[in-house]
Amino acid sequence: MKDINQFTITQAVKESFKTEPGSRFESLLHGLVEHLHDFTREQNVTHEEWMGVLNFLYDCGKISTPERHEFILLSDVLGWSSLVDMINTKGGATEGSNLGPFYLDNAPVKQLGGNLADERDGVTVLVHGKVSNTLHHPLPGATIDTWQADATGTYPIQEVDQDKYDLRGKFTCDENGRYYYTTVLPKPYTVPYDGPVGVLLRAGTRHAWRAPHMHFIVTAPGMAGITTEIFFKNTEYLDNDAVFGVRQSLIADLKPAKDIDKLGYTLDKKPDAVIEFDFVLAPEG
Amino acid sequence: MKDINQFTITQAVKESFKTEPGSRFESLLHGLVEHLHDFTREQNVTHEEWMGVLNFLYDCGKISTPERHEFILLSDVLGWSSLVDMINTKGGATEGSNLGPFYLDNAPVKQLGGNLADERDGVTVLVHGKVSNTLHHPLPGATIDTWQADATGTYPIQEVDQDKYDLRGKFTCDENGRYYYTTVLPKPYTVPYDGPVGVLLRAGTRHAWRAPHMHFIVTAPGMAGITTEIFFKNTEYLDNDAVFGVRQSLIADLKPAKDIDKLGYTLDKKPDAVIEFDFVLAPEG
């Protein structure tokens, strides 16, 4: 019988999986086992610490529901989600950022120039810009799918007395690849901190606030879609966003609404302020 | 505003936790973040793979109950549990091995020479040996807490019509540090494979069988307790135990019961076979 010890067990575990040599599954599995085992040897993990980790994961499972995925939140606060976004950003394209937990894939279709916020309180802002490819050619017919919090930092989907489709919309860009609509300026909010991830944040004396932002999924035929967020200059938590979502390139200027008539848009509501942000998509594959 | 990218995010996440410099919490947390991020960069993890891992953990949480901890099982099949056992084995002491999911901390107290198996079918075996310290001095009063499967590979706790305290017992060693009792020889069984961990095992064409074994927790005043298992020479799955629990030093000889009168034990039941295994405990701390 072959004996295994704390140094040979890693190879034994890898060999126990009869994976296709060179396959993606093998690479991921072997990498996972190596890092898990290396971490354990480097740290001399005790039984109490080992069980502490497993019970933490158990607790994350127990608080999770189809509407609340505590493991995504854990990934967020460990910067894992953002790292995956960064790695998968294509050269020349707009940087990716957190999808977050509030996306709905069937947001209502809206007309360019429409207002997402109805009569909600807050600063009304015109959000506009161009969607182009990496050669700066506009992409007419590109789709902008956006969702956001309101001026109190709340997503309608979080409230029992609100329509979960509020503050969401899908827009199709015009023949020049332009999009434009009005909405309210969102405020900061906290990620949920009443569960195991909250315990972790408190243990590390970390806050749960996110810098204010709007979410976007931008797609166009033949192009790789992007999931990202737009942030706003001079707002709170840009330097210490709880989920590491902020990138310099994703921070937009927020300017008073003057001379907007020159833009030639037909708007349903008069804005107080303007945000201009251009999205760039790279080819698929 | 400081910008972060796929290389600087690791440091940013570590700094976001205001941990006590040099503390154990800081060391574990920084090690975890570094390995998680290194793995992600090395593998160029995609969004689909990232979400696959998070949904796998979500599913592990959903199938877990107080009686079934899928995260411990996951740790077991990835060799993590065994690696932690190996790292925490003290020099000179008996090697540790899996606690497993079936331990109950209030097993019935039994007298030396008693029979754990009542009238159960199977090979009746005398289990005996000595508990000593690392200088070979016996430890009178040491406690042996044992539990095991039956001759069909089933733990009574898994069956609705059986007493969950069956095939369990706590024994106190005699003045020579000796323990002895009879029981039935356990058979192999499978770890649960009807959940997410089963999906992982099948993806890697791995079986779920454990080599037959008996569980032990051995303690004595002033000594570091050990949690371990005894396996049996020439039985199945010694080389490919599903949870990597087997160590060469934990495999006992299984011999016919002859000349056992010479041992001077008073036994409640006549054994067919004999297993001798000595446990060694190291000092606490």
A70-77 and A80-87 helices cross at what angle (nearest 10)?
Answer: 70
Rounded to whole angstroms, the Cα distance separating A64 from A39 reads 27
Report d(CA A86, CA A133) in Å as an integer.
Answer: 19
Beta bridge partners of residue B229, listed in sequence order: B215
Give B66's pLDDT tier (boundaries 50, 70, 90). Answer: confident
Residue found by looking up tokens 């159960």 in the block:
B120
Reported as type and span, the H/E element at residue A176 is: none
Average pLDDT of span B39-65: 97
Lookup: tokens for A8: 């040979």
Which pLDDT belongs to residue B87? Answer: 96
For the cut 70, the answer to whether the pLDDT of residue B1 exceeds it is no
Contacts of A81 in chain B (CB under 8 A): 50
Q: Rounded mean pLDDT of A31-35? A: 98
Q: Is A43 exposed, middle or buried (0-12, 13-18, 19+ CB in 10 A)?
A: middle
Check pLDDT > 80 for residue A1: no
For chain B, percent of residues with pLDDT exceeding 70:
99
**pLDDT mean across residues, chain B:** 95
Boundaries of every domain in chain B: 9-45, 80-281
Residue B132: which residues within 8 A CB-CB, separation 6 or more? B138, B139, B177, B278, B279, B280, B281
Of A13, A62, A240, nearest to B78 by CB-CB distance is A13
pLDDT, one tens digit per residue, over B118-139 is: 989 999 999 999 999 999 999 9
A84 neighbors B45 (Cβ within 8 angstroms): yes
pLDDT band at A255 (very low <50, low <70, confident <90, very high): very high
CA A267 → CA A109, A110, B109, distances in Å?
Answer: 16, 12, 82
A8 touches chain B (CB under 8 A): no
Cross-chain Cβ contact B84/A50 below 8 Å: yes
pLDDT computed for residue A161 by the predictor: 85
- Candidate from A57-66, A151-160, B2-11, B23-32 with smallest mean pLDDT: A151-160
State the pairing for strand pair A143-148/A168-172.
antiparallel
To the nearest whole Å, the CA of A180 is away from the closest chain B CA by: 28
Q: How many CB atoms sit inside 10 A of residue A113's CB?
A: 18
Name residues 94-123 of chain B within 8 A of A (Cβ). none
Residue B83: its chain A contacts at CB < 8 A?
6, 9-10, 37, 40-41
Mean pLDDT of B239-248: 96
* Average pLDDT of span A180-192: 96
Assign B160 a pLDDT band (cuts: 50, 70, 90). confident
Q: Hey, is the C-beta of A71 within 8 angstroms of any chain B C-beta?
A: yes
Q: What percent of chain B has pLDDT over 90?
A: 90
Nearest-CA distance A263 → chain B (Å): 30
Task: Quote the pLDDT of residue A100.
Answer: 86
Rounded CA separation B78/B69 (Å):
15
**B65 CB within 8 Å of a chain A CB:** no
Q: What ipTM, to 2 d.p.? A: 0.93
A126 burial via Cβ count (<10 Å: 0-12, 13-18, 19+): buried
A82 to B32: CB separation less than 8 angstroms, yes or no: no
* Residue pair B108/B98 in contact by the 8 Å Cβ criterion: no
| pLDDT (tens digit per residue) in A16-31 | 999 999 999 999 999 9
Which of A141-145, A231-235, B161-165 shows the lowest mean pLDDT across its residues?
A: B161-165
What distance lies between CA B26 and its chain's CA centroid? 28
Mean pLDDT for chain A overall:
95
Q: Nearest Cβ partner of B44 from A5, A87, A244?
A: A87
Using alpha carbons, select from A103, A125, A135 the residue that is nearest to residue A217: A103
Is B18–A204 a contact, with Cβ atoms under 8 angstroms apart?
yes
pLDDT given for residue B43 in this prediction: 98
Is pLDDT at A105 greater than 80 in this prediction? Answer: yes
Q: What are phi and psi of B151, to 5 degrees?
A: -75, 0
Q: Which numeric CATH code is attached to B80-281?
A: 2.60.130.10
